[in-house]
Amino acid sequence: MTAPELAAADALISLALAEDLDGRGDITSQHFIPANHRSLGRIMARQSLALCGVEVSRRVFATVDPGLEIHCLAKDGDALERGQTVLTVVGSTQSILSAERTALNFLQRLSGVATLTRRHVSALAGSKTKLLDTRKTTPGWRLLEKAAVRAGGGVNHRIGLHDAVMVKDNHLVAGGTVDELRAGIDRVRGACGPVKIEVEADRLDQVRAFLTVPGIDVILLDNMGAGMLREAVALRNAAGSAILLEASGGVTLETLSDLAATGVDFISVGALTHSATAVDLALDLETLPAS
């Protein structure tokens, strides 16, 4: 993970631990487990998965108790099978149990995104088409979920509204004329410099027109079937344009291969983040002699 992603993780860890411990701590462990009781904890995969969130999980344990001894045995992006160990943690049983659920929540969610992404990437095997994520992320979790997409083999689209231009029909208040688009692109270039500019099209006549507009980097082909996508690719190739083409809208795991066969450069899938299911990971404890 990048430095900004780890900073986002630290902020979320603080929030999550505050939700769970609320300044009082784990009152169950405090009153049922002796303070000097020590354990070895192992976070284990209970299914096949693509891993993400190892460092985040480690930071949860370290935040709860800096005295815990933590060893990461796998890394983000690893393909794990049932029974493999992600990390071990040794120390106070009270501390391990206080951190357990929060550590697992991060690891299960992020590995769920990575695992779903890996399945989609596998469906694109043999093609040159790259898989993109979207902004359809859990509020507050965007940087982490985008890291999980990369761990699964996907490629990040823009991070937010601030780092790239995406011109959709609602932005073209004058009806989407080429002149309106040219003027808007000129304003962007003057104010923002060399940011990526992408324009949405849902008809082939729009694609044909947008291919003539200087400054466009990507045309997003919205809700087009495989037949229309092939025609759009043919138009781009015939024009000798360097503009890239992205298919989006209604994409499923089952349709990915057919869409990639049309020759589009990218396929974006919102489901990678908005519909990923948490994977099955668990913490197993083994009692150690008291120190």
Q: What are the residue numbers of the active site?
A: 101, 136, 168, 200, 222
Are 264 and 225 in contact, with CB atoms under 8 Å apart?
no
Displacement of CA 207 from its chain's centroid (Å) = 29
Between CA 152 and CA 49 the distance in angstroms is 10
Could you tell me the strand order of the sheet in which 244-248 lies? 130-132, 266-268, 244-248, 218-222, 197-201, 165-167
Q: For residue 286, what are its two tokens?
A: 């083994």
CA triple 172-174-178, angle to 5 deg: 75
Picking from 198, 205, 213, 206, the residue whose alpha carbon sits closest to that of residue 245 is 198
One-character DSSP codes across 7-65: HHHHHHHHHHHHHHHTTT--HHHHHHS-TT-EEEEEEEESS-EE---HHHHHHHHHHH-
Element at 264 (helix H, strand E) = none
Q: Phi/psi of residue 80, each to 5°?
A: -110, 150
